[in-house]
Structure 1
Amino acid sequence: MSLRKEHELHQRRKGRNLGVGVLLGSFVVLVLALTIVKVTSAGFKFPNTAAAVEQTEEQN
């Protein structure tokens, strides 16, 4: 039990912060899910960085 009663303003802030936290967490989960789907798809290939460096050197 607290010594002082919590002010109404703090209760509203707590609710707002909880809402922002839930939205932020859901955004992170969405980005993670999209990343996993993209990486595990059949058409995904990691870029060949060595070939890309060689091509840029040849162009210069």
Structure 2
Amino acid sequence: MTSHRAPKAATAPLHPLERAVTAALVLAVIASLAWIGGMIYTVISW
């Protein structure tokens, strides 16, 4: 017996929420790298 299934999309576009979460994660990584760089600069210049 065969069953009918709708074909799945090969590449689904990102939803707005997923874009917001991805953007927030990228900004968090950039901010943490800047913070670590600032701490290293502070220790070196101390």
Is the structural similarity TM-score above 0.5? yes
Structure 2 Cα separation of the partners of residues 5 and 19 of structure 1 = 21
Q: Which runs of 4+ in 1 moved over 4 A?
A: none
Task: Indicate the structure whose relative CO is greater, using CA pairs within 8 Å and at least 6 residues apart.
Answer: 1
Please say if 1:18 is aligned against 2:26.
yes
RMSD in angstroms over aligned alpha carbons? 1.2
Please say if 1:8 is aligned against 2:16.
yes
Identity %: 8
Any gaps of 5 or more consecutive residues in structure 2? 1-9
Any gaps of 5 or more consecutive residues in structure 1? 39-60
Greater percentage in helix:
1
Aligned residue pair count: 37
Larger C-alpha radius of gyration, 1 or 2? 1
Structure 2 Cα separation of the partners of residues 10 and 3 of structure 1 = 14
